[in-house]
Amino acid sequence: MAAIAGIFSENYDVDVTRMLGLIKYRGSGDIYIENVPGATLGCVSNGKKPAAGPGRVEDRINDYQYAAAGAMGEQVFMERDPLGIVPLYYGRRSDGSLCFASEVKSLAAITSDINEFPAGCRYDGDSFERYFELRQKPVLNEGPEGLAAELYRRLEAAVQTQIHSDEAACFLSGGLDSSLLAALVRRHVKKLWTFAAGMPHAPDLAYARMVADFIGSEHHEIIVGQEDILQALPEIIVHLESFDAPLVRSSVMHYVAAKQISRYAQETFSGEGADELFAGYAYLKNLPRERLASELIAITKRMSGNALQRVDRCGRAFGLDTHICFLDPAVVDLALQIPVELKLRDGVEKWILREAARDLLPRPILERGKVKFWEGAGVQDMLARHAASVITDTQFSQEKTLANGWELTGKEELLYYRLFRKRLGNLENLDWMGRTVT
């Protein structure tokens, strides 16, 4: 299944069908509705009849990427995966009945009470239970070589588990993370398609081409111009269900690449999670060493409202299942035990990951530093400059404060908010929406 929705009350087939109709793009199959005692449950399949079991619907990619809900008699339940990779929202209708959906636009069709279901939690109809909490673990005393070898072993196992045929597809930006995933996938398939998107002369395109040549993938470049981006922007925001400026900006090329991938495959691989687990962001170098471990935990927890939302919504916009192997439980468990001194070493971010990838990638990729998505793809400040050209200072001053008290960060975010409001309506409650911490 690729999309779920339901109302914990019987015989609401019309409402649940309408909810799923708004997010049918998440799958490639039909809408299925099931009435069970105490609930009307629905899902959109991924091309085959769903088999989650009676009284249960799931949006499941694998054992650590899922959202589920159902009812058995008077007992209802909902559950979301440990790190919040797959989205789930819930609320109550005016008659008091509980309801849920994979996306906000689906839930908003029947209620204005919209809440994000917390990652790593279950709900039994009365209360939430946290079954998973991301916590730092005692560090391992093993040397760098042994830890790099074990990290390689766990990553390869995570990749191999998600390969279901002799063909596969990967996002490939030419950065360390996506390149390593592509190299690992290539070892286990006969044919690998890789995809990179960027504006003309974007740095990512050259690096991705280098990796593709090195690993022997069938590589596809999608060259995008400013008008292409501006034309796609309304749809990107509709799918993201967000106007957060860094999230929207970083989603442009992901969305474009996902559209192209969907013409070749129904599943793909993404390198998300490595920066958070292995200290890939530049600002982390300026933190006191004693704060680094807790900061990595904090930014990994926040992924569900930014990076993971981008991966889910851009892929699901075209019915893609995206495997995020850096967030495989065995990989995460090891990452939490690797000393921070091996993640950020001598000013080199993700040092231990580079060691694990040493025999798989060309040296320029192993030595490439972290580049923000919009910089590597050549977008730079293009969207900010466009927003400045169409929004006056007076307009920004008048519109920058939202009804809920939020302050927009600049004209670029106001541009996105206008598109958000035009396409998704004037949603009064925005508490469910994540915003980038600056």
Q: Which residues contact 28 (CB under 8 A, 6 or more apart)?
A: 2, 45, 46, 47, 266, 319
**Residues 144-380, CATH architecture:** 3-Layer(aba) Sandwich (3.40)
Give residues with Cβ within 8 angstroms of 99, minimum separation 6: 5, 6, 7, 8, 90, 91, 92, 93, 107, 110, 111
Q: Where are the domains of the chain?
A: 3-130, 144-380, 390-421
pLDDT the model gives residue 370: 81
| DSSP, res 66 | E
What is the C-alpha separation between 312 and 87, in angstroms, rounded? 8
* Nearest by Cα to 78 from 133, 119, 21: 119
Q: pTM here?
A: 0.95
> CB-side exposure of 41: number of CA atoms within 13 Å?
24
Residue 350 CA from chain centroid, whole number = 20
Instruction: Determine contact, residues 323/267, Cβ cutoff 8 Å.
Output: yes
For 140, counting Cβ atoms within 10 Å of its Cβ (0-12 exposed, 13-18 middle, 19+ buried), the class is: middle
Q: What pLDDT is attached to residue 397?
A: 97
Q: Report the CATH fold assignment for 3-130.
A: Glutamine Phosphoribosylpyrophosphate, subunit 1, domain 1 (3.60.20)
Which residue type is seen at 382?
M
Q: How far apart are CA 103 and CA 317, in angstroms?
A: 11
Q: What is the pLDDT of residue 438?
A: 66
Q: Residue 206, SS3?
A: helix
The answer to whether the beta carbons of residues 420 and 242 sit under 8 Å apart is yes
Distance (Å, whole) CA 365 – CA 179 = 8
| Average confidence (pLDDT) per 10 residues, the chain, 438 residues | 93 97 92 94 81 86 96 90 98 96 97 96 95 95 96 98 96 96 98 95 94 98 94 97 95 96 96 97 93 96 95 96 98 98 95 96 93 74 93 97 94 97 90 86
- Cβ neighbours around 84 below 10 Å, total: 25
Give the pairing of strands 321-323 and 267-269: parallel
